[in-house]
Amino acid sequence: MATNANWTIIFEDKAIIKNFAEGASPNEGVGYRIEDDSFWGQEKFSNIWAIQHGTSVTTDEVEYRDETPHTSYADANLGDISQFSSKWDAAHLEKLQGDWDADPRDESEKGSRPTSYSS
């Protein structure tokens, strides 16, 4: 599997990781488990083990469950990467809002509650 990807998607874990996320430690990403069985259960994903999107070795971005050779994301014909990044964005916004809600400071000190996030 390719390394240094912008996005890592692990189907078995239902995880989407943004490897360059704001607030991430160097060489670490921020990941969220996305509990959406209808999303993960799509037929087009049935043979996919993992995706490393945005790597320097594009022919090694998609890893299959069977013996299918690794391919580029484009050749896998899975649709736009935004189907994953939008799920991550929604989960990240929820976290930002939760952090804001839990912050005991006055709103005038912490600023407005986050209402949107886009990668």
Q: What is the dihedral of CA 44, 45, 48, 50, to 10 degrees?
A: 130
Q: What is the pTM of this model?
A: 0.89
State the residue for tokens 């391919």. 71
Establish if 118 belongs to a structural domain.
Answer: no
Give yes or no for a contact between 73 and 58, defined as CB atoms under 8 angstroms apart.
Answer: yes
Tokens representing residue 37 in the block: 């069985």
d(CA 84, CA 106): 34
Per-residue model confidence as pLDDT tens digits over 64-78: 999 999 999 999 999
The total of structural domains in the chain comes to: 1
Per-residue model confidence as pLDDT tens digits over 40-65: 999 999 999 999 998 877 787 999 99
Establish if 119 belongs to a structural domain.
Answer: no
Residue 56 sits in which domain range? 7-110
